[in-house]
Amino acid sequence: MAGLRWFASVAMQLLMILCLVRRSSSQCRFGAVLVNGVNGSTCLCDQGNYGDAAACLPCPKGTYKSEVGTARCRDCPLFSDSEKASISPNNCSCITGYTKISGECFRCLAPDNCAKIVSTREKIGVCGNCSLYFQYNDSGLHVDVGAADYQETLGGEKFCYCTYLDLSNRYLAKLGPSVFSKMRFLERLDLFGNYLASISATAFSNLPYLKQLYLQGNKMRYLPPGLFNNLTSLEGVYLDQNSLIVLEPDVFSGLDNLKTIYLESNNLEEISSSQFQNLGQLQTLEISYNYMVNCLDLPNVTVFQTGCSSP
Ligand SMILES: *[C@@H]1O[C@H](CO)[C@@H](O)[C@H](O)[C@H]1NC(C)=O
Ligand SMILES: *[C@@H]1O[C@H](CO)[C@@H](O)[C@H](O)[C@H]1NC(C)=O
Ligand SMILES: *[C@@H]1O[C@H](CO)[C@@H](O)[C@H](O)[C@H]1NC(C)=O
Ligand SMILES: *[C@@H]1O[C@H](CO)[C@@H](O)[C@H](O)[C@H]1NC(C)=O
Ligand SMILES: *[C@@H]1O[C@H](CO)[C@@H](O)[C@H](O)[C@H]1NC(C)=O
Ligand SMILES: *[C@@H]1O[C@H](CO)[C@@H](O)[C@H](O)[C@H]1NC(C)=O
């Protein structure tokens, strides 16, 4: 009788433990794990997943997260890429034409010659009535025009008459100072789909006619102060799908013709309405898929923002 009772009580306890274990592991949503802390157990996003434990999401392609917890996904090193939900920088493989040397990806000039600096001057095509060359060195990309080419002369200086330049999807990582200064007639500049992480503050100086600037799908974490200072004709700036964390307070100031700003899918935590207050022509601000909690309300502007009432 006593044996039976002992057996029953042990079986009961086992059952309870089993129940507890089952309850606790299913308490966490997909992508989260239960972590024991001083205040009991909490669900936290697992390696390769980010967010709060109520909704963990896999780290996007090109990023990784090695820790369990609330940290962000980190970007893969320059010129490398990873699958979704990667857990380590080792999951980041160099893109085609690059090889990994102590964690960094270097461009291969030939299969057996991979180098950090690429300084060969390459012809990249014809724009308007000039030939264009680019040279890539430690200070970044430099664009220049062929010496014998047709150029417009203005105040004794020669400029290329080219209104649209497409430098998208070219593995560019850095833009040097005044890189487009020989192209002051540019109206549209495509730089999307590169690996731009570093842009000189004067990269876009001397482009008084530029209307559309496409910088989406790069690796920018911040914009240098004054980057858009002299772009007085700018109507649209596309900065979506970067890794922007903060915006300088006056990054768009003085851009009196700006109608469209795209900032979605970045890592912005805070944007203040005052950053857009003096943009008299602004019509559309797209800031969905960021980490912001405050909803922006700007008179006469259509604001697209995740979790806020649609306009
Ligand atoms: C545990 O809970 C106390 C009281 O709520 C809090 O002050 C403390 O920061 C918590 N500790 C951890 C590690 O979460
Ligand atoms: C990351 O690397 C680990 C170890 O090599 C591997 O097990 C895992 O499948 C990789 N993850 C992805 C998303 O490629
Ligand atoms: C990079 O190239 C540009 C253009 O040829 C040149 O002006 C600049 O001094 C170079 N910078 C370095 C660090 O080599
Ligand atoms: C370059 O193109 C512009 C626009 O088509 C034209 O006005 C200018 O005369 C051309 N310059 C030369 C040197 O051919
Ligand atoms: C560019 O902007 C700065 C600051 O607004 C100003 O001092 C400078 O003169 C401008 N340069 C040109 C070429 O317009
Ligand atoms: C919004 O637009 C209306 C009509 O064009 C205009 O009267 C008003 O001043 C604008 N408000 C702001 C804050 O720009």
- Ligand 6 pocket residue status of 281, Cβ below 6 Å: no
Percent residues over pLDDT 70 in the chain: 84
Nearest CA residue ID for atom 7, ligand 3: 142
Residues in the chain: 311
Based on the domain organization, do 196 and 68 belong to the same domain? no
**pLDDT, position 52:** 79
Question: Count of domains in the chain?
Answer: 2
Q: What is the pTM of this model?
A: 0.68
Residues 168 and 33 in one domain: no
- Do 298 and 221 share a domain, yes or no? yes
Calculate how far, in angstroms, residue 129's C-alpha sits from the geometric centre of ligand 5.
28
> Residue 76: its pLDDT value, please?
87
Integer Cα distance of 57 and 64 in angstroms: 12
Give the domain-ending residue among 54, 73, 94: 94
* Pairing relationship of beta strands 80-81 and 188-190 according to DSSP bridges: unpaired
Closest ligand 1 atom, CA of 39?
1
- The residue out of 47, 78, 94 marking a domain boundary is 94
- Residue 150 in any domain: the answer is no
Q: CA dihedral defined by 132, 136, 142, 143, rounded to 10 degrees?
A: 10
- Which pLDDT band, with edges at 50, 70 and 90, does 17 fall under? very low
Q: How far apart are CA 281 and CA 208, in angstroms?
A: 18
Ligand 6 pocket test: which of 300, 301, 303 has the largest number of ligand atoms within 8 Å of its C-beta? 300
Task: Tell me the pLDDT of the chain averaged across its residues.
Answer: 83
Place of tokens 């900065």: 239
Domain limits for position 6: 2-94
